[in-house]
Amino acid sequence: MKDVRRDAWVLRDDGLAALVRELARDGRQVIGPTVRDGAIVLAEVDDAAQLPHGWGVELAAGRYRLVRREDAMVFAHSAGPQSWKAYLHPQHVRRWTADRNAGGEWTVRGEDEREADAVPAYAFLGVRPCDLRAIAVQGRVLGGGPGADTAYRRRLDRTFIVAVECTDPGATCFCTSMGSGPAVDVHDRGYDLAMTELLDEGGHRFLIRAGSDAGAELLTRLPVEGAAPLTESAARHVVADAAERMGRSMPPVDLHALMAGSMAAERWDDVASRCLTCGNCTMVCPTCFCTTTEDVTDLTGDHAERWQRWDSCFDLDFSQLHGGPVRASGRSRYRQWLTHKLGTWHDQFGESGCVGCGRCIVWCPVGIDITEEAAALAEETGQPENRGSVQAAESVRHARQEGGGRR
């Protein structure tokens, strides 16, 4: 008998409908890719027909175009304008409220984070390997340790994740450089089900395997059939092939050391002349976690609320101290973004803050490219090539297995 926990199965494309149905039947809100406003965005899907059947994307620095594919592939597109952080780390949340009574006494109430349990849990359908890593990376920042956000932890813990391996990397993808894709690592504990989409002589189908007990249980309710060895090797092949077709790559240097050694580089002036300091890169980045607080009072002055909203190191107010912002120039703000992402993130959290999804390249209106900036810095500072990227991947793999990604 097959071991449902370990073996791979095959789901025919009509089985996707059953997958969406079963997730909804479990009371989950299913979030997946769907076409809206000329892009493949993440939104609630209540029917597999809403998935982007036959849609693909053409990506370049500062450019995104939705295109019709010649086939009916559903997940043959790379990262879109939002990431899953829009759901796990919402852009605007209330932290506490305070009320003053007639006697002038204040009562402060923190948000009851257990209320998070009253709303439907999410099912994320179609999480790419880079984003699976990003969820784990952000989870280690917000889900535990000194920066712990317990509401975040609750949302993540209750989310059911269906990962889908990448077969069609975009021109801006470089997960291979960051060790985060295009395959889903079998040892990854961050997913419940993982799929590989196949469309060949054998038809349109998904190789599917469980990554958790919840995933294994769900599998028993899906119309799956045993996977033939040929199907398994075909799936391995399309993903290995995708690794060869990455649109971009990071320079093969120790990026952590590169950032530490580039603080005075002239390249920062060059990029600052092009950078709009518009903040789009941090907003689309699936690991950027920064927030600010806003205090709201009503007209009576007897009711106050504190909200948390996404902020960015490109905001002047972000580094505002007494007397003015610490990072007043565009140069210092771009440098903060890049050196945090690729450098000091290692010091803080033991891994890279970049997973190679390419969103910051695509959604930067002027097309500033993180890989090109890193390469220019490496060239200017003469950073030697080494096995740094391999070491980084090692430490990431190590980190992935403890903490954040585990749910």
Residues of this chain that interact with another protein (CB under 8 A) are 36-39, 41, 62-66, 81-82, 86, 91-92, 104, 269, 272-280, 283-284, 294-301, 309-310, 312, 314-317, 329-331, 362-363, 365-366
Q: In angstroms, rounded to a whole number, what is the distance separating the alpha carbons of residues 164 and 34?
A: 15
- 81 is a contact residue toward ligand SF4 (CB under 6 A): no
Nearer Cβ to ligand SF4, position 210 or 338? 338
Interacting span for ligand SF4 (CB under 6 A) from 26-34, 159-167, 198-206, 336-344: 336-344
Q: Among another protein, ligand SF4, none, what binds residue 315 when CB lies within 5 to 8 Å by partner kind?
A: another protein
Among ligand SF4, another protein, none, residue 313 binds (CB under 5-8 Å by kind) = ligand SF4
Give the whole-angstrom CA distance, residue 246 versus residue 269: 29
Judged by beta carbon, residue 150 or residue 292, the one nearer ligand SF4 is 292
From the list ligand SF4, another protein, none, partner contacted by residue 139 (C-beta under 5 to 8 A by kind): none
β-pairing, 203-210 with 193-200? Answer: antiparallel
List the single partner that 390 binds among another protein, ligand SF4, none, CB under 5 to 8 Å by kind.
none
From CA 284, how far away is CA 278, in angstroms rounded?
Answer: 12
Nearest to 158 by CA among 341, 31, 324, 19: 31
41 interface partner picked from another protein, ligand SF4, none, CB below 5 to 8 A per type = another protein
Nearest to 236 by CA among 209, 273, 274, 267: 209
Q: Are 85 and 122 in contact (CB under 8 A)?
A: no
How are beta strands 63-68 and 291-297 bridged, if at all?
A: unpaired
Min dist. Cβ of residue 222 to ligand SF4 (A): 31
For the chain, the straight-line distance linking the first and the last C-alpha, in angstroms and rounded, comes to 28
Name which of residues 8 to 67 contact ligand SF4 (CB under 6 A).
none
Are 354 and 341 in contact, with CB atoms under 8 Å apart? Answer: yes
Q: Which is nearer to ligand SF4, 16 or 61 (CB)?
A: 61
Site for ligand SF4 in 296-315 (CB under 6 A): 312-314
- List, in sequence order, every beta strand (DSSP E) within 128-271: 160-164, 193-200, 203-210, 224-226
In 350-388, which positions are buried (b, 16+ CB within 10 angstroms) versus exposed (e)?
ebbbbbbbbbbbbbbeeebbbbebbbbbbeebebeeeeb
Distance separating alpha carbons of residues 331 and 328, to the nearest angstrom? 8
* Binding partner of 393, given ligand SF4, another protein, none, CB within 5-8 angstroms per partner class: none
Give me the residue label for tokens 């390469």: 375
Hey, which residues does 61 pair with through a beta bridge?
Answer: none
The least distance separating another protein from the CB of residue 322, rounded to whole angstroms, comes to 13
* Interface pattern 267-286 for ligand SF4 (x via CB under 6 A): --------xxxxxxxx-xxx
Q: Which does 273 bind (CB under 5 to 8 A by kind): another protein, ligand SF4, none?
A: another protein
Amino acid at site 239: V
357 near ligand SF4, judged by CB under 6 A: yes
Write the binding mask 359 to 378 for ligand SF4: x where contact by CB under 6 A, - elsewhere. Answer: xx---xxx-x-x--------
> Closest CB to ligand SF4 among 9 and 152?
152
Helix (H, G, I), strand (E, B) or coil at 246: coil
Task: In angstroms, give the least distance from the CB of 299 to another protein.
Answer: 5
Amino acid at 75: F
Which residues sit at the interface with ligand SF4, rule CB under 6 A? 275-282, 284-290, 312-314, 336-337, 340-341, 354-360, 364-366, 368, 370
